[in-house]
Homo-oligomer: A and B are copies of this chain.
């Protein structure tokens, strides 16, 4: 049931509020809001944990790249403070805290605003879903996540700390690419888990179809719809970034973004394949369940048909007519048994020859 409700959350509670009103829609993470500031360039790296209401001076741009990450979106005042320091448009802040956004990218000239779904694998091949927003300036990067499913970017942070790879020597756009790449990589883990649930269910469908299978198929279908809604629009987002109409993204980074774009297409392809497989499984289930029932009914009806003439015969010799010669025969009873056995065997043979049995 919990899974189902994912498809029904919407922004109706905001009806009647003025634009830019910061209303948090979503769950509150157990850890509260946490703000982390990272500053780095090729030679240096600095990591600071900020208070919930940091002053703008702390958040100012420095030399190198500045990455401010906010986890937990229920404290709208903290979000407002961070956003206003960076002169974000009120609508951007509104979208960040309202966690029912469709993945999209918006170009505000001085910065790009991206929002997408962050899917993480969970036990039993389930997955969690939270909103991830990213604001990319020339030398700075703001990221906002719900913080419900732990740190999704630990490997990125490690690479920054140890200065391995190209992350430290590149600009904020390359860091943004790194985060997008990590997010799409998570999609594949989620899809792999989903694929395993599909394979498990397919085996059940083929071998022991039970009526619950249908409910499970319907659940999986809903999850595919959800995955599709989450991933499909990202394609346009990445296509926009890769086209490079905005000079915030440098040409070398665009090559990497094309790679993420390709991965997104692959993920979408996989989701479409899952949809096709699910509809094939539905057909398979429906016809194997009806087939099973038909087989049983046919068998029982055949059994019934064998007994029909036998019951007629025993009824026949139960009649009380004055004069029924067979009844007086010496071996009448034996003969009637022989006739009945022959009849039964004959019918079974006939059914077999007709391939009904």
**Separation of A336 and B218 alpha carbons in the complex (Å):** 52
Query: Given A18-B159, A19-B181, A266-B102, are A333 and B311 also a contact pair (CB < 8 Å)?
Result: no
Binds B, one of A67-75, A130-138, A293-301: A293-301
Distance in Å: Cβ of A183 to nearest Cβ of chain B: 10
Q: Which of A130-154 contact B (CB under 8 A)?
A: none
Q: Which residue of B lies closest to A159 (CB)?
A: B18
Q: Which of B192, B277, B304, B318 contacts A300 (CB 8 A)?
A: B304
Q: Which of A255-289 contact B (CB under 8 A)?
A: 255-256, 258-259, 262-263, 265-266, 269-270, 273, 276-277, 280, 282-284, 286-289
Q: Which of A109-145 contact B (CB under 8 A)?
A: none
Q: Please tell me if the beta carbons of A322 and B314 are within 8 angstroms of each other in the complex.
A: no
Q: Which of A12, A317, A321 has the most CB of B within 10 A?
A: A321
Which residues of B lie under 8 Å from residue A76 when comparing CB positions?
Answer: none
Contact code string A237-267 (vs B, CB < 8 Å = 1, else 0)? 0000000000000000001101100110110
Which residues of B lie under 8 Å from residue A297 when comparing CB positions?
Answer: 293, 297-298, 301
Query: Given A289-B291, A304-B304, A314-B312, are A7 and B284 also a contact pair (CB < 8 Å)?
Result: no
Contact code string A216-247 (vs B, CB < 8 Å = 1, else 0)? 00100110010001000000000000000000
**Separation of A35 and B138 alpha carbons in the complex (Å):** 45
Q: Which of B102, B178, B286, B317 contacts A321 (CB 8 A)?
A: B317
Which residues of B lie under 8 Å from residue A222 when comparing CB positions?
Answer: 277, 280
A328 at the interface (CB under 8 A from B): yes
Q: Please tell me if the beta carbons of B19 and A256 are within 8 angstroms of each other in the complex.
A: yes
Q: Please tell me if the beta carbons of B7 and A277 are within 8 angstroms of each other in the complex.
A: yes
Q: Which of A191, A206, A218 has the most CB of B within 10 A?
A: A218
A57 at the interface (CB under 8 A from B): no
A49 at the interface (CB under 8 A from B): no
Query: Given A89-B255, A195-B8, are A336 and B319 also a contact pair (CB < 8 Å)?
Result: yes
Distance in Å: Cβ of A302 to nearest Cβ of chain B: 7
Query: Given A289-B291, A298-B297, A300-B305, are A321 and B314 also a contact pair (CB < 8 Å)?
Result: no
The 5 closest A-B pairs by CB, nearest first: A314-B315, A317-B319, A15-B185, A12-B192, A12-B188
A contact set with B: CB distance below 8 Å: 4, 7-8, 10-12, 14-19, 89, 91, 94-95, 100-102, 104, 106, 108, 155, 159, 164-167, 177-178, 181-182, 185-186, 188-189, 191-192, 195, 199, 206, 211, 214-215, 218, 221-222, 225, 229, 255-256, 258-259, 262-263, 265-266, 269-270, 273, 276-277, 280, 282-284, 286-291, 293-294, 296-298, 300-305, 307-312, 314-333, 336, 356
Known contacts A215-B284, A321-B329; 6 further A-B pairs (Cβ under 8 A): A104-B262, A286-B287, A290-B290, A293-B298, A317-B320, A321-B336
